[in-house]
Amino acid sequence: MTPHGYLKLSIAAAVASIVLKMAAWWLTDSMGFLSDALESFVNLAAAVFGLAMVTLARTPADHDHPFGHGKAEYFAAGFEGIMIFAAAIAILYTSGVRLFHPVALDHFGFGTALSVLSTLINYLVARQLIAAAGRFRSMALEADAKHLMTDVWTTVGVIVGVGLAMLTRMWWLDPVVAIAVALNILREGGSLVKRAFDGLMDKTLPETEVTQLNDLLVRFCDKNCELGELRTRGAGPQRFAHVEVRVAGHMSVDAAHDLVDRMEQTVLDETGILLTTHVEPRHDPPTGKPAE
């Protein structure tokens, strides 16, 4: 299945969750269940936008975008974070009103059954998205997967909170649980926005990938060359690196070109990173003369 297929699966799960959770809220009149349902609306909007951005991110490079469109996925993650903030604010407002005007709940058993079914759907889809995000190196899939897993734990918390309210008849517990849900999804929204911002600001690749890349490059350099500063960045599923290769002064242009060509191709084949190199003559620090 392609990233588009996984996001379509997420859209279907969001629609199913909305139907089930809204039914649970309608049956119980629980603010906890309503807050959970509102988050599913966020899931739906985020998955639809993510599908559009994944499609754009995988559009081939063109004259105006020679490095491709990979950063479009960061817009999907940022949008999802913003939508989470909007849902959290709505939940906090409605729950604050209910906190001062508690209402008795009803039909807890059937409403809970619907929420449990919704949670099972989201959990199964989230597990598939998490695996796919690693396989395709997709920020949009990762963001959607994390949001779905947050939704799973949110629903579990809501069910526990509403259950306690039913058992104790302390109806104020219901809006308190909803407020806790809102604060939790605010945290998740902040995390997604931060990751999207890091991507748009060309944050370096993870340390493990940089170490692997550096180890690969060192294999190519003997007494005739040395490496300069290694710089890396990610753009959605695409990863880029640039390094300066300092070669001995006696090395011919053809030999230097062959060296960096092999270096770039090996890095691409073994890591998927698009490496660009810049060849410079290596000088001896004391004299500034080319190395013999």
> Is residue 189 pLDDT above 80, yes or no?
no
Is pLDDT of 183 > 90? no
pTM value > 0.85: no
Instruction: Report residue 241: phi and psi, to 5°.
Output: -150, 155
What the chain holds in terms of domains, given with CATH numbers, is: 3-200 (1.20.1510.10), 207-281 (3.30.70.1350)
* Tokens, residue 120: 């099972």
pLDDT of 110:
81
Question: What is the distance between the alpha carbons of residues 246 and 11, in angstroms, rounded to a whole number?
Answer: 51
pLDDT of 180 reads 79
Of all residues in the chain, the percent with pLDDT exceeding 70 is: 91
CB 53 within 8 A of CB 196: no
End-to-end Cα spacing for the chain:
55
Predicted pLDDT at 128: 92
Please say whether the beta carbons of 28 and 13 come within 8 A. no
